Chain A
């Protein structure tokens, strides 16, 4: 049979779980590289950054991605959920995604670049007294983006990019993997004008982020039944027109959810009311209203009041590197799922300014809280949406709003992502107790080994494993370190030791490019 290299995925390829070089080369051009990271967002950046610092060259690594900058998707989701560049995100001072050491922290760097003594001292004072005398310090989104750009440039990010859409990853006969992707127009690395390219690598890392956003079932049903996609919106999707409309005429908005995403939406709505002339009334609907601290033991009790459960970050801090991390590592199955649930769940950070703003709204009558189970969502009068709720006493209440914002932050099932679905069907991957990709403590995807090759996954798709905070800057960096250690133990690269660490840190401090 002659090779046509047209890039066709033949039925034989699709139906075969493990591919031989001969089978692939019949229709697909092959590109060789030792390590491939799929995604190109902050998860890929964290992994590639560490591997580069540990000694791998740009030629050893390819990142297959549809985006130009590593923070692009993060930024899109942040801005949709109302975190503009000058706002502070919910992340620790030392969770520096552009710096594997966490030193100097975002706070120190903010101090160094600030003008005037008072502005220099403020962030340092803040981290010194957090969280005892003040809320946790957190960096601005803008600081994160600009430092990510700098680090991407420093490690030669653009040289490692393969722009295009990944279709699947399959194991290779004889070891390693094939990653099939459709190059972006004009960016085919084989210059043959092919439809698809197979990247042959020893190792693969998958960091594709959220498979997609999901609506609450009752809202999804309403949108589908009534074909109304403009009045019921998701906080993670662009809904700026809602705020524009709210500034034009007095309206009522219902917010669903009580986690960090809801907090952001509330801030935007109430800021618009207090500072930008919007005459908006906010109805905040809680499914579980938190009245008091949660937990039945003094040694396991989370702060909570006014409807919200409070903690600094999405898990208690020790889940990233202290005793809770160790505890989680020792658990499996339902016990692990249960602990992750109790440490996480719906929660938001306590911020004094937010607290005060909600209090003003409560007093003024433009912020109203309701608790109950939604019975139905249907079109109301005058282009409103009517939500029927059964409250705690079993009474039925009708709530009318011009818009409903789903700020529950629900994510789609991993099988919504084509690459992950294929991995579950053909790659030997399985699900963990939370339904995401089942990974080892080293973040290797269980069941996908292709000796001497290994496949890893990090980020949100690995939630439910031995590490709770996977979907965070520090979690991505922790995963990167574990992946690097595992690869080094398998003979791929040299384990990052103290000498090299110090040397590379000094290079980072001088912002010198990594060779």
Chain B
């Protein structure tokens, strides 16, 4: 994938709002622990998706800046996979602050975050091109110019 800045942001928001949110809605009830409620898990997981989207705009600015130092001006798919860790860490810290007093279970958060990330990544490296046949030629834009 060879994203432009606008394309990066659009693709992230689009995929989080569709694949990311869809997966979250599906998976959250399974993550309920003995003493918790579905409502509380949804509060945690949906906050995580929302924060990934919001912080993501900032992260994309950073990635775009780093991309300028690559001759190919591309963004290897390996990079899009491993940045899950720094991004996830920031979201984790933020969730801990938001839910101060009753911190979300570590496993619940990370299982949800990493599974959502992987699914979004998988869609971005292939299937999205089927749905949007012009996407790969316009730097990841969802809304055409």
Contacts and interface: CB of A to CB of B under 8 A. Distances in A.
B106 interface: no
Interface string A452-485: 0000000000000000000000000010010000
Interface string A296-324: 00111111000000011000111011111
A128 B78 contact: yes
A23 interface: no
Contacts of A301: 71
B138 A501 contact: no
A130 B137 contact: no
B3 interface: yes
A325 to B, nearest CB: 7
B133 A325 contact: no
Interface in A478-515: 478, 481, 496, 498, 501-502, 505
B72 A298 contact: no
Interface stretch (B13-21, B84-92, B96-104, B122-130): B122-130
Interface in A123-149: 127-133
Given A101-B129, A103-B129, A505-B130, A320 B76 contact: no
Interface residues of B, number: 29
A508 B5 CA distance: 32
Interface in B1-38: 2-5, 7
Contact of B137 (A132, A325, A501, A502): A325
Nearest to B77: A128
Contacts of B81: 128
A104 interface: yes
A321 B133 contact: no
Contacts of B3: 322-323
B73 A324 contact: yes
A312 B76 CA distance: 13
Contacts of A321: 2, 136-139
A94 B136 contact: yes
A14 to B, nearest CB: 40
Contacts of B71: 295, 300-303, 311, 316
Contact of A481 (B2, B76, B137): B137
Given A298-B69, A312-B72, A316-B73, A323 B134 contact: no
Contacts of B72: 131, 311-312, 316-318
Nearest to A103: B126
Given A132-B79, A318-B73, A322-B74, A501 B130 contact: yes
B61 interface: no
Given A133-B78, A322-B2, A322-B139, A101 B133 contact: yes
B139 A325 contact: yes
A100 B133 contact: yes
Contacts of B68: 299
B78 A129 contact: yes
B132 interface: yes
Contacts of A129: 78
A326 interface: yes
Contact of B126 (A105, A303, A312, A320): A105
B131 interface: yes
A129 B130 CA distance: 23
A167 B40 CA distance: 74
Contacts of A131: 72, 76
A102 interface: yes
Contacts of A498: 131-133
A299 B136 contact: no
Nearest to A501: B133
A103 B2 contact: no
A17 B70 CA distance: 49
Interface in B41-82: 67-69, 71-74, 76-79, 81
B76 A132 contact: yes
B130 A322 contact: no
B69 A323 contact: no
Nearest to A312: B72
Contacts of A324: 2, 73
Given A317-B2, A478-B137, A481-B137, A103 B130 contact: yes
A103 B130 CA distance: 7
A312 B78 CA distance: 17
Given A105-B126, A498-B132, A130 B73 contact: no
A318 B2 contact: yes
Most A Cβ at <10 Å: residue of B72, B78, B79, B138: B72
Contacts of B138: 321
A101 B130 contact: yes
A302 B130 CA distance: 33
A426 B133 CA distance: 37
A55 to B, nearest CB: 14
A260 to B, nearest CB: 16
A324 B4 CA distance: 9
B118 to A, nearest CB: 12
A3 to B, nearest CB: 46
A505 to B, nearest CB: 4
A26 to B, nearest CB: 45
Contacts of B131: 498, 501-502
A65 to B, nearest CB: 26
A308 to B, nearest CB: 14
A312 B70 CA distance: 12
- Shortest Cβ-Cβ A-B pairs, 5 listed: A322-B2, A318-B73, A317-B74, A318-B2, A103-B126
Given A105-B126, A321-B138, A321-B139, 11 more contacts: A128-B78, A317-B2, A317-B72, A318-B72, A320-B137, A323-B3, A323-B67, A481-B134, A481-B137, A498-B131, A502-B131
13 contacts: A100-B133, A103-B127, A108-B126, A131-B72, A300-B71, A316-B74, A322-B73, A323-B67, A323-B139, A324-B2, A325-B137, A498-B132, A501-B130
